[in-house]
């Protein structure tokens, strides 16, 4: 691909360049006005002491650091507690009743790639299978034109979209804005971002804020392809424009995003997953990223299957985790990712929703990917040469061998040498300071025969989200004391969730583990993570000056 790129191409040729990556992802964008990135970068970001901004859309109040000692936030059972410690016992844990549900054909994920869309593209609102779906996602224009439906053919849902538009307009005429409504056992939440309306219909036990956060991610995914300025300009000129003419073929990217939101903790935690590795080896990879870097480089990062290995950034710039999540999702949805080098305009909505930055994506090794971002469209060759510099540096210092060793290492086995984790199915631990999390899949889940790991993750993550709902609802309450601990027991596993000012932690154990033993295990696990923070998280990324 690189040999076809000329930095002095015309505007029309540049638009074709933008579509090169998109076509590989089954895109069919025809006429998109190119948006240059903002020249006033200082107005596009907020300087902070940490390198990633918390992406908890419903509530950002948790993004605080606390220098409290380890003992102040340690969990203990009633047997280990003493009168000088204000630590919860089993009796103090908020217990949740949760109805067991099977993962069936109505679950939001599918194993056939295009799934429901491929096999039931002619489904309409009267279809029983369509109605049985627990979650529906819709995008329409302010004029009521259908743009996207997670299930079925949008054109078959024109009347339904028209009803949604009429409801929004009726409430707007009353000088108000609709946020949500309930019909039977279905909750409808609305995200009104003119010229688009996004709607989610759900029968799940999730809060309005949790559902809106999913719509926020979907909206950002749309903006990454067409900037807010482009959308506004199109509908100012043609209010009844059919946006599917521009977004046709992008459904698989939004479909994949919706599927991942159901089982990937990064979305409900609002953080990026990091790859555990030693601080010194991570530092070498960071040095490779800044080695003889071009001045045009704004930020860059190396990932393993979209787990952050290390990153570099301009010292005044902080990226929002959701911007990286939608970039990773777009790259993951592309069949060209593993085979080609990609140079594409990409809008980072939380950074600047009105313009494009330009992203160079390359595979350094199997599942090891490089992302380099510049502000100017003619910097492909500079970033291409910088990729070669990075590879040379990493080869010289044996970074690929170390990375391969880290990837092959089962870190939960290493922890098990000091902590008994035989009964652990899944653990997700988020550091609020670094806005990153780590996931541990236990042997109990890896050895399951009844479900795939993804199916197990879907079920367990669903319960994690349910626990988090209780954390968020009480944090915003003026009358209730914030819940710090949740315990849940189902026919399949025990769930223990713990929320402090420093971290969030969610753990699933099999039924052979008692609650007291689970708390002891969690205490030991948290101590281990705190002692090895630099191993598990990217704590000191280098800066570009």
CATH fit for domain 410-536, picks 3.30.450.30, 3.40.50.720, 3.40.50.2000, 2.60.120.330: 3.30.450.30
DSSP 37: P
* Cβ-based neighbours of 10, under 8 Å, separated by 6 or more: none
Check whether 256 has a pLDDT greater than 80.
yes
Check whether 78 has a pLDDT greater than 80.
no
What SS3 state is found at 335? Answer: coil
Check whether 399 has a pLDDT greater than 60.
yes
Residues 334-347 pLDDT 10s: 766 556 788 989 99
What SS3 state is found at 473? Answer: helix
How sure is the predictor about 479, in pLDDT bands with cuts at 50, 70 and 90?
low
What SS3 state is found at 98? Answer: coil
How sure is the predictor about 303, in pLDDT bands with cuts at 50, 70 and 90?
very high
Residues listed for the chain: 545
Check whether 69 has a pLDDT greater than 60.
no
CATH number assigned to the domain covering 272-408: 3.30.450.30
Residue with tokens 């367990």: 460
Query: What's the pTM?
Result: 0.79
Q: What is the mean pLDDT of residues 406-432?
A: 83
CATH 3.30.450.30 spans which residues of the chain? 272-408, 410-536
Q: What is the mean pLDDT of residues 25-36?
A: 30
Average pLDDT, the chain: 77
How sure is the predictor about 455, in pLDDT bands with cuts at 50, 70 and 90?
confident
Which of 25-29, 303-307, 406-410 bottoms out in mean pLDDT, i.e. has the lowest?
25-29
Task: Give the integer Cα–Cα distance in Å for 505 and 485.
Answer: 10
Q: What is the mean pLDDT of residues 39-60?
A: 33
How sure is the predictor about 454, in pLDDT bands with cuts at 50, 70 and 90?
confident
Task: Give the integer Cα–Cα distance in Å for 416 and 440.
Answer: 11
Burial class (CB in 10 A: 0-12, 13-18, 19+), 103: middle
**The domain over range 128-262 is classified in CATH as 3.30.450.70:** yes
Report pLDDT for 300.
94
Report pLDDT for 122.
56
Report pLDDT for 48.
26
Report pLDDT for 337.
57
Check whether 60 has a pLDDT greater than 50.
no
Q: What is the mean pLDDT of residues 208-219?
A: 94
Residues 215-231 pLDDT 10s: 999 999 999 999 999 99
Residues 260-298 pLDDT 10s: 999 899 999 999 999 999 999 999 999 999 999 999 999
Residues 92-105 pLDDT 10s: 455 554 444 444 44
Report pLDDT for 45.
28
Task: Give the integer Cα–Cα distance in Å for 225 and 18.
Answer: 10
CATH 3.30.450.70 spans which residues of the chain? 128-262
How sure is the predictor about 408, in pLDDT bands with cuts at 50, 70 and 90?
confident
Q: How many CB atoms lie within 10 A of CB 333?
A: 21
Check whether 2 has a pLDDT greater than 70.
no
Report pLDDT for 65.
40
Burial class (CB in 10 A: 0-12, 13-18, 19+), 276: middle
423 contacts 512 by C-beta, under 8 angstroms: yes
Residues 163-205 pLDDT 10s: 999 999 999 999 999 999 999 899 999 999 999 999 999 998 8
Kindly list the distances between the CA atom of residue 517 and the CA atoms of 184, 421, 425, 506, in Å, as whole numbers in the listed order.
Answer: 41, 11, 14, 15
- As a whole number of Å, the CA-based R_g of the chain is 24
What SS3 state is found at 215? Answer: helix
Residues 513-534 pLDDT 10s: 788 888 888 999 999 999 999 9
How sure is the predictor about 483, in pLDDT bands with cuts at 50, 70 and 90?
confident
Which of 75-79, 167-171, 238-242, 501-505 bottoms out in mean pLDDT, i.e. has the lowest?
75-79
Q: Which residue has the higher pLDDT, 180 or 109?
A: 180
Check whether 461 has a pLDDT greater than 60.
yes
How sure is the predictor about 238, in pLDDT bands with cuts at 50, 70 and 90?
confident
Q: Is the bond into 46 cis (omega within 30 degrees of 0)?
A: no
> Comparing C-alpha atoms, which of 279, 310, 311, 276 is closest to residue 297?
311
């Amino acid at each position: 691909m690189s040999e076809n790129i000329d930095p002095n191409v015309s505007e029309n040729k540049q638009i074709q360049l933008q579509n090169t990556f998109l076509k590989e992802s089954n895109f069919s964008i025809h006429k998109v006005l190119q948006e240059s990135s903002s020249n006033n970068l200082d107005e596009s970001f907020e300087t902070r002491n940490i390198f990633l901004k918390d992406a908890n859309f419903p509530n950002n109040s948790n993004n605080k650091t606390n220098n409290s000692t380890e003992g102040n936030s340690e969990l203990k059972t009633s047997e280990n507690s003493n009168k000088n410690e204000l630590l919860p016992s089993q009796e103090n844990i908020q217990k949740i009743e949760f109805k067991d549900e099977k993962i069936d054909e109505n679950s939001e994920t599918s194993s056939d790639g295009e799934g429901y869309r491929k096999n039931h593209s002619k489904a309409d609102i009267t279809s029983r299978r369509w109605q049985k779906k627990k979650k529906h996602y819709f995008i329409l224009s302010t004029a009521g034109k259908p743009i996207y439906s997670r299930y079925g053919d949008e054109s078959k849902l024109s009347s339904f979209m028209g009803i949604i538009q009429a409801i929004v307009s009726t409430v707007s005429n009353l000088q108000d804005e609709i946020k949500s409504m309930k019909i039977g056992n279905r909750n409808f939440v609305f995200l009104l971002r003119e010229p688009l309306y996004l709607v989610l219909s759900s029968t799940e036990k999730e809060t309005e804020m949790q559902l809106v956060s999913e719509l926020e991610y979907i909206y950002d995914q749309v903006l990454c392809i067409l900037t807010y300025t482009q959308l506004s300009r199109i509908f100012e000129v043609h209010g009844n424009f059919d946006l599917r003419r521009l977004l046709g073929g992008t459904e698989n990217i939004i479909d994949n995003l919706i599927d991942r939101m159901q089982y990937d903790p990064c979305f409900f935690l609002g953080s990026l997953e990091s790859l555990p590795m030693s601080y010194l080896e991570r530092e070498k990879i960071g040095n490779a990223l800044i080695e003889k870097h071009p001045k045009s480089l704004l930020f860059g990062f190396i990932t393993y299957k979209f787990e952050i290995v290390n990153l570099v950034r301009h010292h005044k710039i902080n990226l929002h985790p959701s911007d990286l999540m939608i970039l990773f999702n777009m790259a993951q949805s592309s069949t060209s990712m593993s085979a080609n080098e990609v140079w594409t305009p990409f809008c980072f909505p939380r950074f600047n929703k009105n313009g494009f930055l330009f992203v160079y994506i390359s595979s350094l090794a199997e599942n090891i990917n490089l992302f380099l971002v510049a502000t100017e469209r003619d910097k492909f060759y500079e970033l291409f040469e910088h990729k070669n510099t990075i590879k040379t540096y990493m080869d010289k210092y044996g970074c690929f061998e170390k990375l391969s060793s880290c990837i092959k290492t089962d870190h939960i086995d290493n922890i098990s040498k000091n902590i008994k984790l035989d009964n652990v199915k899944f653990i997700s631990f988020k550091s609020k300071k670094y806005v990153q999390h780590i996931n541990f899949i236990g042997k109990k889940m890896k050895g399951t025969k009844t479900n795939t790991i993804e199916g197990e993750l879907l079920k367990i993550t669903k319960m994690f989200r349910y626990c988090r709902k209780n954390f968020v609802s009480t944090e915003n309450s003026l009358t209730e004391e914030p819940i710090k601990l949740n315990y849940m027991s189902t026919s399949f596993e025990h769930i223990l969730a713990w929320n402090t000012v420093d971290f969030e932690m969610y753990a699933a154990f099999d039924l052979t583990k008692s609650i007291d033993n689970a708390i002891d295990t969690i205490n030991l696990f948290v101590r281990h993570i705190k002692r090895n923070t630099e191993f598990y998280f990217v704590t000191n990324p280098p800066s570009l000056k």
